[in-house]
Amino acid sequence: MAFRTEDQVRNEAGITLGFIDSHGNNVETSKFISGVGQLTTFIQLGNRLGTTDFNGVSDKPDGWLLPYNQNGVAIVLETKSEKEDISKDKWKNELLKNIVILNRHYSKVAGILYNGKDIRVFMNNDEVPSPAATLQRLEYYTKLFVADSIDKGRIYDLTMKINNCLHKEFGVKNLNHRMIFTACALVAVKEGAILHKGTEYSLFHQTILSQLSKSLKDAKKQNEKLDLLCDVYSEIKMNTTDNQQAIDNFIDWVTEISDLINSDNWNGEDVMAIFFNEFNRYKGKSERGQVFTPDHITSFMYRLLEVNQHDVILDAACGSGAFLVKSMCNMIKEAGGINTDKAREIKAKQLYGIEFDREIYALACANMLIHKDGKTNLEQLDTRKDDAAKWIREIKVKLESNSQSKGVTKVLMNPPFERAYGCMTIVKAVLDNVPTGTMCAFILPDKKLEKDLADKKFGNKVLKDHRVTTIIKLPENLFTGVTTSIFVFEAHKPQNGQNIIGYYIEEDGLETVKNQGRQDIKNRWNGIEDYWIQAIHDGMDSKYNTRQIINPAEHLSYQKPEKPFEIFEEDFIKTVMDYEMYKNGIDVKAFQSNLLSKVLYSSEVLQNDDSSISILLKDGKKNDN
């Protein structure tokens, strides 16, 4: 039996991995260099990358993939002839030596030991226990370093570090600017920006802007207003810091966040939603007009309205885009994944957002770009004005699965709560301009509709034209300083006195973690969400018994049951004694003090072995207590 030689194994591996083409030529792109052979030294590879990290290293790898981005995943290949036993430590040690060399420049190195039939794979110095049995394309090995689950605690930790770094080291005082700068850096990293540690500040700053402008080039054909993202980024004022360690730390942290966003598990829980909500905890009092919706509530509202892959979604006060991103990822998951034709249709035609605040609008654009979506229809408009109303009415979508065009089918929103921001004006404008029958869910303060009904400013007008079907009171500690409910409307179907069904989700299972906000540390929410979605859809809350029928003529909010009045004998005796002492002019506080002193310190009080106290009364009898 003829065994394949090491040269044959090396060339076959190079083609399979994608290091060389079918003609044996090394592959080089704008993002990486790759190749096979025993002629090229690490010194030469370092020169091509523009780094001195491999100076003095004359070793020659069998195969390599080296990204220009220092934060990317490098791959090094060590091949042997088919007759060699690659379980031997000497072959493993050869590979590990090359991994150590690459670790001078890259923090993530995948090592492959291969003899044409058997394979061993390493992530840095650690062998991967169960890799694919046969050699795969290079993407398989770079994916080893992409998180397959989301470490929430790490996201909270990274957010705190990034916020503190930008605030204290870079001098960015405005919280929105800190979020926008970070989001723009994430877009740049995701699109291939080379953020080398050791880069001085001006080049670091310009690299992000250059990549941002380049990445937006195609997207701007769909949405010219994406230009605003670069404008806002350019306007952010930062200290020209000489603190190289701060720059290097920021690059490390942003790269790690980017890896988490790329996790295959991002459909279940949006990293950026957690990230933005955590950032939001650092807002000062003057910055609290903008409230970001917690990720678990966006998930709940998506399921509450039974959104599916064929819906057309509108959020006319979209903030950072949490509802749009949640809808996008869930709809794409239902459609079969990110690489399907339906996924591209969802991104291009089925997600619409309006945001008035210029900087928050820029943040929403960045968030959608981070999620590989430059075509989402975002507009910087005032939802209260006619041009926004016209834009909403003109949303007409013709999907490949349906020959007829349709407008917005579902609305998911958390409009600004304060009247100064026009909360109910926004709600009414949306309801007035979406198609008849559109189901709309808004997060509002508990009594918002009720107050406006009382002063007849909005409540009557809204219910004259639109119907509230359901009110779901949310946990009272969900938002700081305000208690909220989800109000579900059916557009252009008048209330006409029809009752509203109410529910109360008193607990969401989240707990406050010191310096890290509220987290689902015991993984309770999924079960709670499942219960409430089923209960509300069935119209029956058998577990908590919170379901109630609300007469809209009397209330437009969930009515928490009042606790029954109770009185105990001790309360009655205390009240009678207080009254008697008052009639007799006795100072209650002085009497209590004297009595306490008498009980504790008087010689007329005896303490028994069992620690009970006996008080000697005037007639010589004892009263044991």
pLDDT in tens, 56-99: 999 999 999 999 888 789 999 999 999 999 999 999 999 999 99
- Residue 485, classed as helix, strand or coil, is strand
> Among 158, 164, 101, which residue's Cα sits nearest to residue 272?
158
Q: What are the two backbone dihedrals, phi and then psi, of residue 217, each rounded to the nearest 5 degrees?
A: -55, -50
Average of per-residue pLDDT across 405-424: 89
493 domain-assigned? no
Determine the pLDDT at residue 346.
92
**Which of 241, 262, 286 marks a domain boundary?**
286
pLDDT at 268 over 50: no
Residue 16: which CATH number?
3.90.1570
For the stretch 3-13, pLDDT in tens is: 889 999 999 99
Cβ contact 292:277 at 8 Å: yes
Q: What are the two backbone dihedrals, phi and then psi, of residue 518, each rounded to the nearest 5 degrees?
A: -90, 130
Determine the pLDDT at residue 57.
93
More confident residue, 308 or 398: 308
**Which of 111, 145, 179 marks a domain boundary?**
145
Q: Are residues 155 and 83 located together in one domain of the fold?
A: no
More confident residue, 258 or 563: 258
Determine the pLDDT at residue 584.
83
- Residue 489, classed as helix, strand or coil, is strand
Nearby residues of 183 by Cβ (< 8 Å), 6 or more positions away: 272, 363, 366, 367, 370
Determine the pLDDT at residue 288.
47
Rounded to the nearest 10 degrees, what angle do helices 358-370 and 271-280 cross at?
A: 150
Cα–Cα dist 118/84, whole Å:
10
Q: What are the two backbone dihedrals, phi and then psi, of residue 444, each rounded to the nearest 5 degrees?
A: -140, 160
539 domain-assigned? no
405 domain-assigned? no
Q: Are residues 61 and 82 located together in one domain of the fold?
A: yes
Q: Are residues 91 and 21 located together in one domain of the fold?
A: yes
Determine the pLDDT at residue 395.
94
578 domain-assigned? yes
Domain, as residue range, for 575: 569-624
For the stretch 492-522, pLDDT in tens is: 999 999 999 999 999 999 998 876 678 888 8
Average of per-residue pLDDT across 564-577: 76
pLDDT at 459 over 60: no
Q: State which amino acid sits at residue 247.
A: I
Q: Are residues 138 and 154 located together in one domain of the fold?
A: no
Query: H or E segment at 470?
Result: strand 467-473
Q: Are residues 170 and 84 located together in one domain of the fold?
A: no
Alpha-carbon distances of 390 from 312, 393, 429, rounded to whole Å: 17, 5, 10
Cβ contact 482:469 at 8 Å: no
Q: Are residues 152 and 270 located together in one domain of the fold?
A: yes
Cα–Cα dist 361/357, whole Å:
6
Determine the pLDDT at residue 481.
84
pLDDT at 620 over 50: no
Cβ contact 91:112 at 8 Å: no
Q: State which amino acid sits at residue 427.
A: V
> Among 553, 410, 385, which residue's Cα sits nearest to residue 490?
410
Instruction: Return the biggest CA–CA distance within the chain.
Output: 117
> Among 244, 165, 157, which residue's Cα sits nearest to residue 516?
157
Determine the pLDDT at residue 269.
47
CB atoms within 10 A of CB 337: 11
> Among 284, 386, 262, 279, which residue's Cα sits nearest to residue 322?
279
Quickly list DSSP for 144-210: GGS-SS--HHHHHHHHHHHHHIIIIIS----HHHHHHHHHHHHHHHHTT----TT--HHHHHHHHHH
99 domain-assigned? yes
DSSP strands (E only) in 243-343 = 313-315
For the stretch 123-181, pLDDT in tens is: 999 998 755 678 888 888 887 876 555 677 787 888 889 988 999 899 988 888 998 89
Cα–Cα dist 447/170, whole Å:
42
pLDDT at 535 over 90: yes
More confident residue, 325 or 621: 325
Rounded to the nearest 10 degrees, what angle do helices 201-219 and 227-235 cross at?
A: 160
Q: Are residues 115 and 164 located together in one domain of the fold?
A: no
Cβ contact 111:122 at 8 Å: yes
> Among 397, 410, 401, which residue's Cα sits nearest to residue 336?
401
Determine the pLDDT at residue 197.
80
Cα–Cα dist 75/143, whole Å:
11
Q: Are residues 260 and 211 located together in one domain of the fold?
A: yes
pLDDT at 542 over 70: yes
Instruction: Pick the most confident of 202-216, 260-274, 306-320, 365-379.
Output: 306-320
Tell me the torsion sign for CA atoms 533, 537, 543, 545.
positive
Give the rounded percent of residues in the chain with a pLDDT score beyond 90. 42
For the stretch 384-414, pLDDT in tens is: 999 999 999 999 988 877 777 899 999 999 9
Determine the pLDDT at residue 523.
86
> Among 108, 23, 36, which residue's Cα sits nearest to residue 67?
108
> Among 40, 35, 39, which residue's Cα sits nearest to residue 25?
35
Q: Are residues 157 and 280 located together in one domain of the fold?
A: yes
191 domain-assigned? yes
> Among 299, 263, 253, which residue's Cα sits nearest to residue 149?
263
80 domain-assigned? yes
Token pair 């973690």: residue = 513
Token pair 């380049």: residue = 214
Q: Name beta bridge partners: 33.
A: 28, 66
If one counts the domains in the chain, the total is 3
Token pair 């190195």: residue = 109
186 domain-assigned? yes
Alpha-carbon distances of 271 from 156, 179, 317, 611, rounded to whole Å: 10, 14, 21, 59
- CA contacts within 13 A on the Cβ side of 42: 19
For the full predicted model, state whether its pTM sits above 0.75: no
Q: Are residues 216 and 238 located together in one domain of the fold?
A: yes
Q: What are the two backbone dihedrals, phi and then psi, of residue 160, each rounded to the nearest 5 degrees?
A: -60, -45
Q: Are residues 172 and 262 located together in one domain of the fold?
A: yes
Cα–Cα dist 250/271, whole Å:
18
403-407, 584-588, 593-597: least confidently modelled range: 593-597
pLDDT at 609 over 60: no
Instruction: Pick the most confident of 233-242, 306-315, 369-378.
Output: 306-315
Query: Rg of the chain over CA atoms, in angstroms?
Result: 33
Cα–Cα dist 481/288, whole Å:
11
Cα–Cα dist 234/221, whole Å:
21
- Report residue 411 as tokens: 């609305």
**Which of 247, 271, 286 marks a domain boundary?**
286
Average of per-residue pLDDT across 334-360: 89
Rounded to the nearest 10 degrees, what angle do helices 201-219 and 358-370 cross at?
A: 80
Q: Are residues 51 and 120 located together in one domain of the fold?
A: yes
Alpha-carbon distances of 120 from 126, 141, 143, 261, rounded to whole Å: 11, 12, 16, 28
Q: Name beta bridge partners: 110.
A: 75, 123
Q: Name beta bridge partners: 470.
A: 488, 501
Determine the pLDDT at residue 625.
45
Instruction: Pick the most confident of 209-223, 471-485, 560-574.
Output: 471-485
